[in-house]
Structure 1
Amino acid sequence: MFRSAASVLVLLIFLAPAAAQSPPATTGPAAQSAPQAKPTAKKATAKPKAAAKSAEPATTGPCGVGVIAGIGDVFVVQKIGLTVFGNDYAEVPVSWGLDDLVFARARAAAGNAPVRRIAYAKGALDSYYHPKSGLFRNQRQELSNLIRQIAGNAGCERYLVIMRSEGQLDGTNQSLSGVGIFSRGVGLISYAYVFAYIGVTWVDGHTFEIMKGPAVTFEGVMKHMADNFVSNELLQKVDKSMFPEAAADSANNTALHDTTRDLLTKRLDKILPPYFAQ
């Protein structure tokens, strides 16, 4: 038995160098293709197409998180005068791809978690943003029913809904909603701010009930309050000349376009990641 063991040991010693050389053999095909510069370049350019194809099945397969980007291409132009007679409000249709930006930032916040964008018909959210007058309104139930209709047969486990929200401007009785620009004051004592008021909601994909978000925890609530106390989280002061003379002029204002998208991006990148960290 000793001789047999010795024979096996000797055989292993001879096989060890061969085993050490085996990894290069597995990379042989790559080594052979390395001198061929053109085929390698073609493979490199083909990678983005392959990634795009791999993302296509996600629109029909199992869905973990469905993202409903519901800010819409609406830009608010608002004047806040010294008296109520100096107030003015207008919603201007723009083609700034705001919902595309919302989904892009949601996908970035999701990291490796797959998300699917849920498309909806134009005007599907109008009833929520501009409800019929009434004494009582159950916004949670309205939103739940609305998302159920929009989701249709998507079959996602959860829906992340990003929509315009509303907040009161400090020192006034005026509210700001969605994304836009406002001016306050008259003449030399006036100023202008771009704003981005948006809200994020989790909706259960089975019951369509509103779920608790990350801000429901004590730490989350305190952080949310702190964020709202810091004006530059929601507002960005701009030169008064950026405020359009006519509300409709804002649609073609490049400076407003860039400033709004920049502020919205910063806001989204701050509030979306906690939802994917739950």
Structure 2
Amino acid sequence: MFRFAASALVLLCFLAPAAAQTPPATTTQTPAPAKPAVKKAAPKAKPAAKQPVAIESGPCRLGVISVIGDRYAVQKFGLTIFENEASEVPIDWGLDDLVFSHVRAATGNDPTVRRIAYPKGVFEPFYHPKTILIRDPGERLPTIVRSFTTNANCDRYLVATTYKAELPNTHMTLNGIGTYNQGLGGILRHSHLFANIAITLVDGRSYEEIKRPFVNFGANFAAGLRLTEDPLNKLDNSLFPDPPAAASASAALRERTRALITDRLDRGLPGYLKED
């Protein structure tokens, strides 16, 4: 009995280290699902920096100010005053650009001839004076030009404006630049273009008007208003805008009007650009 107990004790001594060396059973764990990668939003493109506005420097012999190009008159005349109709249509035909380009061309693209910008509405007192007979000093062109050209330092300013004129041999008034239709019925009616443009020279130091006694720019334009077959002012009735608002979208009217103004500028400008 004692021998059996001793043998069992010896056997247990051998089994204990073996049990200690047996690795414990491992539990398999399911890996957590990987989180989807978050895509970073692409950085927004920065807006292009605004280019600085170029400021002209150097001497200015002549500053050009054109105020003719944002209204187009559409007028219709009947047998009596009660049949007359007149409208003004907003346009964007580059007529002021046309004036400047022709002044530059007439001066041989002189770099000292500069276009002068002006504040919106600054010429309203000139076009819509309080009274017709006696103008307020603030409504005169030299005063208006002085108000926004103090830093331009030009020797002279050439100002192009429009005016109202009476159609020769009639009592009908044509306003600025536009077209008119006159007559009775469909066969006897006729249409024309007109361009009443005035040029004024202003001294850049004294701001007094410089007179050109032997140059009549208005007369050159009036010559184009006579009822002749001159292709520059003769207009086919089919091109007369009806309704008047259709004028602004008419490519034919635009090109015909630009051609008429070009002809008048080429005839009238040299007398105003000559040196004293």
Q: TM-score, normalization: structure 1?
A: 0.71
User: Counterparts in 2 of 1:1-278, with a 5 A limit?
Assistant: 59-113=56-110, 114-133=112-131, 135-137=133-135, 142-187=140-185, 188-213=187-212, 216-217=213-214, 220=215, 225=219, 228-229=222-223, 231=226, 236-278=233-275
Alpha-carbon distance in 1 for matches of 2:231, 2:210: 24
Unmatched 5+ residue regions in structure 1? 1-55
Letter in 1 for 2:192: Y
In the TM superposition, residue 78 of structure 1 has moved relative to its aligned partner by 0.8
Question: What is the DSSP-based 3-state SS (H/G/I as helix, E as strand, rest coil) of the residue aligned with 2:176?
Answer: strand
- Match of 1:102, SS state, is helix
SS of match in other structure, 1:257: helix
> Matched residues in 1 for 2:220 and 2:252: separation?
29
Against the structure 1 CA distance between its residues 229 and 270, is the aligned structure 2 distance closer, same or farther, given a 3 Å change threshold?
A: closer
Aligned residue type for 2:236: D
Report how far residue 138 of structure 1 moved.
Answer: 5.7
Higher helix share: 1
Report the Cα distance in structure 2 between the residues aligned to 1:134 and 1:105, rounded to whole angstroms: 32
For the Cα contact (< 8 Å) 1:166–1:175, is it kept in 2?
A: yes
Quick check: 2:180–2:191 contact (8 Å CA) kept in 1? yes
In structure 2, distance between residues paired with 1:63 and 1:234: 38
**SS in structure 2 of the partner of residue 104 of structure 1:** helix
Deviations 1:69-109 (A, max 9, x none): 11132111111221111111111101101101111111111
The one-letter amino acid paired with 2:78 is: G
* Rounded Cα–Cα distance in structure 2 between residues aligned with 1:180 and 1:248: 12
AA paired with 1:192? S
Amino acid at match of 1:209: E
Distance 1:237 1:212, change over 3 A: same
Matched residue of 2:69: which SS? coil
Q: In structure 2, the residue corresponding to 1:60 is in which secondary structure?
A: coil
Which whole-Å deviations, capped at 9, do the CAs of 1:2-40 have from their partners, x for residues lacking one? xxxxxxxxxxxxxxxxxxxxxxxxxxxxxxxxxxxxxxx
CA separation of 1:104/1:174 partners in 2, compared to 1, >3 Å: closer, same or farther? same
1:147 match: secondary structure: helix
Distance across 1 between alignment mates of 2:175 and 2:120: 19
Equivalenced residue count is 217
Kept in 1, the 8 Å contact 2:195–2:221? The answer is no
- Change in 2 beyond 3 A, CA 1:193/1:124: same
Distance 1:272 1:240 in 2: 31
Change (3 A) 1:115 1:176: same
- Percent of aligned positions with the same letter in both sequences? 42
Change (3 A) 1:270 1:90: same
Local SS of the residue matching 1:265:
helix
Q: What is the one-letter code of the residue matched to 2:252?
A: A
Instruction: Indicate conservation of the 8 Å contact 1:197/1:234, yes or no.
Output: no
Moved more, 130-139 or 163-172: 130-139
Query: Judging changes above 3 Å, is the alpha-carbon distance between structure 1 residues 140 and 105 closer, same or farther for their aligned structure 2 residues?
Result: farther
Q: 4+ residue runs of structure 1 moved beyond 3 angstroms?
A: 138-141, 223-235
> How far apart, in 1, do the equivalents of 2:241 and 2:267 lie?
29
Q: 1:239 to 1:70 in 2, by over 3 A?
A: same
